[in-house]
Amino acid sequence: MNDAQFGSRDKRGDWKPFYRIEYPPLFMWPVRPVQFLKWFFGYPGYLLPWNIIYALFSTMIWLYLTPSMATTQTFSVGWLSYLLLRNAAFVLIIFGGWHFFLYIRKSQSNSFKFDGKWPSTNNDAFLFRRQNIDNIIWTFACGVPVWTAYEAGILWAFANGYVPYISWTQHPVYCLAILLLIPAFHDVHFYLVHRLIHWPPLYRRIHSLHHNNVNPGPWSGLAMHPIEHVLYFSGALIHLVVPSHPLHVLFHLQHSGLTPAQGHTGFDRVVIGRCAVSTSSYSHYLHHKFFECNYSDGPVPLDKWLGTHHDGSKQSQDAMDRRFAEKSSR
């Protein structure tokens, strides 16, 4: 598939899509119900393709690969180790899968790749001077353990009746509504945490580690400082307050833990046969490129409301440059 039909490549080899990043018809006046329903149920849209995949995956995990509530009533090395190894295996398969096909096998070469270069292999910013090695270390040494700690703690709280539990059989509509809202809530939580760690003192000490990945790849998704991991996965704590089911917790954490691989692929689309499936990663790529824009990339238009949206156009670039100039002159 020829990416020149969908975008242009500059002299550096960087590829840019023709389309502009737009928000879905979610917060618009007057209300546009038909457009909303097309986005919600359509392809690509809110459910398809990615959210429905992660929801189904989490359901299988809850049914077949999660210790029973009787087991999680008491902390033990056995089930805690099992959760850690299970989550590490998911990351290895999914992050590693994206990396294998796009960066090792290079199944589509650099078609639809935003940055014309490949990950750094001789850069002092990274452990052992290698971007992928650095990213993998931070992911497995810290990201997966923090994710697992949140999961284990919340499952333990559910098993012991310390948090409000809602049954799917008794309240199916409510449970489905909570499940559908989790990606949107994650978007809002991510924006707030992301803006916080872009505050200069926290950025220098914490978030700059993640932003070493100016040219991100799949393994960059969870390559974060330990404090950032704690903040990033803290969105799942909402289930200690809002009546929920353990499946909601699993979906919330699986979504938070696995979508960063997709969001950091560095490619706008993945080519499968004659089809090209969007990774929905252009917005976040622009954040890695320009640093102070697109703090979230979900359906809630917080960046647009707060003046930090970059849609990929020259007009957005000019607006961001003016914002930087005003900030520097204060």
pLDDT band at 58 (very low <50, low <70, confident <90, very high): very high
CB 164 within 8 A of CB 84: no
| Higher-scoring residue by pLDDT: 325, 99 | 99
Q: Give the model's pLDDT for residue 69.
A: 96
Chain-centroid distance, C-alpha 89: 18
pLDDT band at 40 (very low <50, low <70, confident <90, very high): very high
> What value does the mean pLDDT of the chain take?
96
Q: Give the model's pLDDT for residue 28.
A: 86
Among the listed residues 299, 295, 324, the one whose alpha carbon sits nearest the alpha carbon of residue 309 = 295
- For residue 271, which phi and psi values (nearest 5 degrees)? -90, 120
pLDDT in tens, 232-286: 999 999 999 999 999 999 999 999 999 999 999 999 999 988 889 999 999 999 9
Q: Give the model's pLDDT for residue 130.
A: 97
Q: Give the model's pLDDT for residue 211.
A: 98
> Is this prediction's pTM over 0.85?
yes
Could you tell me the residue ranges of all domains in the chain?
42-288
Average pLDDT estimate for 311-317: 94
Residue 62 has pLDDT above 90, yes or no: yes
Angle at 160 between CA 162 and CA 143, to 5 degrees: 80
Q: Give the model's pLDDT for residue 317.
A: 92
pLDDT in tens, 107-123: 999 999 999 999 999 99
Count the neighbouring beta carbons within 10 Å of the beta carbon of residue 66: 22
Sorted by sequence, the CB contacts under 8 Å of residue 233 that are 6+ apart come out as: 146, 147, 150, 253, 256, 257
Average pLDDT estimate for 49-58: 97
Q: Give the model's pLDDT for residue 206.
A: 98
